Amino acid sequence: MLEKQLEYIRSITDFEPEVAVVLGSGLGTLADEIKVHCVIDYKDIPEFPVSTAPSHKGRFVLGEIEDKRVVMMQGRVHLYEGYTPAQVVNPIRLMRKMGARVLMLTNASGGINRNFNIGDFMVINDHISCFVESPLVGKNDEKLGVRFPDMSEVYSKRLRNIIKDTARELDIDIKQGVYLQFRGPNFETPAEIKMAEIIGADAVGMSTAIEAQAAVHCGFEVCGISVISNLACGISDKPITSQEVTQTADRVAPYFKALIKKTVGKF
């Protein structure tokens, strides 16, 4: 299937990205600012999963940022849309096949760490993915990666340092922590967030961790940034709405775009 999808991409363009970027909820407008080479809609790629989530456009944008060749996902797919874990990570594997070696994952997430504020950025140091099924379950494709991949440094220390240094240069305060993925689509209960806090999570969301697992498996060097779009349930008494999530993402988008652009330029 990946080979068929790559064949379709190659029928449109020979462009070989160096860096892949997944743009999370409300963060997709970064793709509008790059020097665009071409745009490929997910719906035109054979057997490709199509985003149904609000504010996710559903296309690859290929082009250049700061002289780096990039492929950006304007919209991702999630488990809560009903896709299998393997379908959810199909785009990650395809971007690796296109030639990208570095992957930056971004998302909007709920803040659990009590030192976090709404609108903060968090470099993902590590993740907790064991509440969702691994995308690596099933027959292993040895051409992609090994059966039992090591997960001791999912988020590359080298890339994390670049992100933190770049944030400092731009005078952007940056937090760091552990991201926990739940399946969604409902937001969590206070008891679930209490558990997440106890087991060491700093932020919670409905994506990213399984993408990072698949990315390590297929040989990407990975990093991730969360935008703290709201305080997780029970950390604040206020009910959570998807509007709040996208409003925060919209508000911090200029800083986010500046950070990603400059960071990717250094990868």
Residues engaged in binding ligand HPA (CB under 6 A): 108-110, 187-188, 204-206, 229-230, 232, 240, 245
Q: Which is nearer to ligand HPA, 95 or 245 (CB)?
A: 245
Give the residue nearest to ligand HPA (CB). 110
Q: How far is the CB of 122 from ligand HPA (least distance, A)?
A: 12
In the complex with ligand HPA, the residue whose CB is nearer, 108 or 167, is 108
Residue 227 CB, shortest distance to ligand HPA, in Å, is 9
Residues 119 and 190: their CA atoms lie apart, in Å, by 21
Cβ(204)–Cβ(240) below 8 Å: no
Q: How far is CA 209 from CA 7, 63, 101, 142, in A?
A: 28, 26, 18, 22
Question: Helices 90-98 & 2-12, crossing angle to 10 degrees?
Answer: 50
Question: Closest approach of Cβ 108 to ligand HPA, in Å?
Answer: 5
User: How does strand 221-231 pair with strand 203-205?
Assistant: unpaired
**Among residues 85, 103, 62, which one has the least CA distance to residue 218?**
103
Nearest-approach distance from CB 109 to ligand HPA, in angstroms: 5
Q: Which is nearer to ligand HPA, 166 or 207 (CB)?
A: 207
Q: Which is nearer to ligand HPA, 76 or 96 (CB)?
A: 76
